[in-house]
């Protein structure tokens, strides 16, 4: 992998990791009902989910193909819904992603980061 592509991938992964950490921090210690739409918890967490997806779009196709076990299309798709179809955002899906999918994704991304 060319050095500049590797550096772009590294930065995008770091951005994803930071945004996932921040999303979890915005909803830490509260339940899903407290982070309902139109609250600052919801808005902050949703923005971070958007950032995760935006950063994923910057990862090279080569790296995405090498790590096909990561649901890149779903990650980017969620970003697209948040940014273009915000009226269709399903908070239950977003909450589930933050609480249950982000920790496993973080581990996968940290493993990739160590190799590039």
Q: Which residues are catalytic?
A: 79, 84
Contacts 24+ apart (CB under 8 A), 62-71: 62/1, 62/5, 63/1, 63/9, 63/112, 63/116, 67/108, 67/112, 69/108, 70/105, 70/108, 70/109
């Amino acid at each position: 992998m060319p050095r500049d592509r590797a550096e772009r991938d590294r930065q995008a992964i770091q951005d994803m990791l930071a945004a996932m950490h921040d999303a979890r921090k915005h909803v830490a210690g509260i339940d899903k009902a407290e982070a309902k739409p139109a609250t600052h918890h919801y808005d902050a967490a949703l923005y971070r989910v958007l950032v995760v997806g935006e950063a994923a779009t910057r990862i090279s196709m080569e790296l995405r193909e090498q790590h096909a076990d990561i649901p890149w299309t779903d990650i980017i798709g969620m970003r697209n819904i948040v940014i273009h179809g915000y009226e269709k955002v399903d908070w239950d899906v977003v909450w589930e992603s933050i609480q249950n999918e982000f920790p496993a994704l973080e581990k996968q991304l940290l493993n990739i980061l160590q190799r590039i």
